[in-house]
Amino acid sequence: MKIASCEISGKEQQAYRFLAGVVTTDCFIDLCVAHRALTGNDNHSTIPSSIVEFLEDGEQMLMWAQAALTYGRENLNEESPEESITTDGNRLAYHLDEITLLPAVPRPGKIIHTSVNFSAHKKEVTAFESSPEWQGQNWGGFHYQHPTGFLQAPSATVGSHSPVVIPQFTKQLDYEIEIATIIGKRASNVTEADALDYVAGYCIFNDMSARDIQGREHANKVIMLGKSFDTSCPLGPWLTTKEEISDPQNLKMELRLNGELRQDANTSEMIYSIPKLVSWWSQITLEPGDVITSGSPSGVIAAMPDPVWLASGDRIEASIEGLDTLVNDIVSSQ
- Between 21 and 137, where is the model more confident? 21
Residue 255: how many other CB atoms lie within 10 Å: 27
Domain count, the chain: 2
Residue 222: predicted pLDDT? 86
Tell me, yes or no, whether 159 and 294 share the same domain. yes
Examine the domain organization and report whether 116 and 93 are in the same domain.
Answer: no
Same domain, 124 and 56: no
Q: Please tell me the pTM assigned to this model.
A: 0.95
> CATH number, domain at 304?
3.90.850.10
Distances in Å between the Cα of 132 and the Cα atoms of 115, 205, 219 are: 21, 28, 11
Residue 252 lies in a domain: yes
Q: Give yes or no: residues 56 and 164 share one domain.
A: no
Same domain, 243 and 163: yes
Q: Which residue range(s) make up the domain with 305? A: 111-332
Can you give the pLDDT at residue 99?
95
Same domain, 84 and 163: no
> Are both 116 and 204 inside the same structural domain?
yes
Residue 119 or 239, more confident: 239
188-214 mean pLDDT: 97
pLDDT per residue as tens digits for the range 76-127 = 988 888 889 988 888 999 999 999 999 999 999 999 999 989 988 877 777 6
- Rounded to whole angstroms, the Cα distance separating 20 from 48 reads 11
Give the DSSP H or E segment for 233.
strand 233-241
Closest CA to 175 of 70, 283, 62, 258: 258
From 21-25, 60-64, 142-146, the region with the lowest mean pLDDT: 142-146
Chosen domain end from 101, 130, 149? 101
**Residue 156 and residue 41 share a domain:** no
For 135-157, the pLDDT digits (tens) are 666 666 666 789 999 999 999 99
Q: Is residue 106 part of a domain?
A: no
Please report, for the domain that includes residue 7, its CATH number: 2.30.30
Contacts from 39-48 at CB under 8 Å and sequence distance 24+? Answer: 42/88, 47/19, 48/19
What is the CA 158 to chain-centroid distance, rounded? 9
Domain edge (last residue) among 101, 126, 160: 101
Does the pLDDT at position 13 exceed 60? no
Res 11 pLDDT > 80: no
Among residues 75, 101, 127, the one where a domain terminates is 101
Q: What is the pLDDT at residue 28?
A: 97
The proportion of the chain whose per-residue pLDDT surpasses 90, expressed as a percent, equals 79
Q: Is residue 202 part of a domain?
A: yes
pLDDT in tens, 229-238: 999 999 999 9
